Amino acid sequence: MKAATVILLLQLLGTTTEAYKYTRYQSEENVALYGKATQSSLLRGEWAAFSHASNAIDGNTEGTLALGSCTHTEEEDHPWWRVDLLKRYRITSVTITNRKDCCADRIEGAEIRIGDSLTNNGNDNPRCAVIDTIPAGGSVKHICSKSMVGRYVNVILPKKEAWLTLCEVKATAVPVPVVGQSGSYYVVDEVGEGGTLVIGGRRY
């Protein structure tokens, strides 16, 4: 669909051309950097100061726990970590950086979940990916099978008596634009194959 046709369609729907331009050309960025992080527990003792949930969104991929840029939970059933992005985004990928100095295999089997619900601390939201393996100190980009919309990004390890450590979580996304006027709102979902515009689930 040509840009002129899209603009005409948006005008007929009561939307603005600026909204379309924003949707079509807004670049992706790591939105996790602006969020607020929490986790199921904090490692007790002398390592607690190095293990806070916010360490995973500090922009630093350093993988040595003692250097203060990784998270660490207690040993527990189904440990989890979550970032609140503070608003909804269309998330295309999540990149996880693993711990370098110990226990790289602990991350295996962790699930990345994305959505708007805080039921079960957000761990029941739709699944983006399952982490297979990440080398010690390495970073692996997990691309969702389709771009997912949500405010919360969770990493949960569905194992018993397990620790969860993350040394960086990068959520690549664009904002979800809601456009309209006079009380009419439209979500521009995507510009699909052949330039098809998708608004509110309908193709134009």
Q: Which residue has the higher pLDDT, 49 or 189?
A: 49
Distance CA 11, CA 135 (A): 50
The secondary structure of residue 183, as a DSSP letter, is: T
Give the C-alpha separation, 83 to 111, whole Å. 14
Beta-carbon neighbour count of residue 150 at 10 Å? 23
| Residue-level pLDDT at 5 | 45
Domains of the chain by start residue, with CATH: 27-176 (2.60.120.260)
Say which DSSP state 193 is in. Answer: G
Helix (H, G, I), strand (E, B) or coil at 94: strand
Which two structure tokens, joined as six digits, stand for 24? 């079509």
Q: ∠ CA 156-172-5 to the nearest 5 degrees?
A: 130
**What pLDDT, in 10s, does the model give residues 130-184?**
999 999 999 999 999 777 999 999 999 999 999 999 999 999 999 887 654 333 3
What percent helix, strand, coil does the chain show, rounded to 5? 25, 40, 40
State the Cα–Cα distance between residues 29 and 120, nearest whole angstrom. 28
Q: Residue 22 above 80 pLDDT?
A: no
27 band by pLDDT with thresholds 50, 70 and 90: confident
Closest CA to 64 of 102, 11, 20, 96: 102
Q: Report the distance separating Cα 112 and Cα 74, nearest Å.
A: 19
Torsion of CA 12, 16, 17, 20, to 10 degrees: -100
CA separation for the pair 140, 122 (Å, rounded): 22
Average pLDDT, the chain: 83
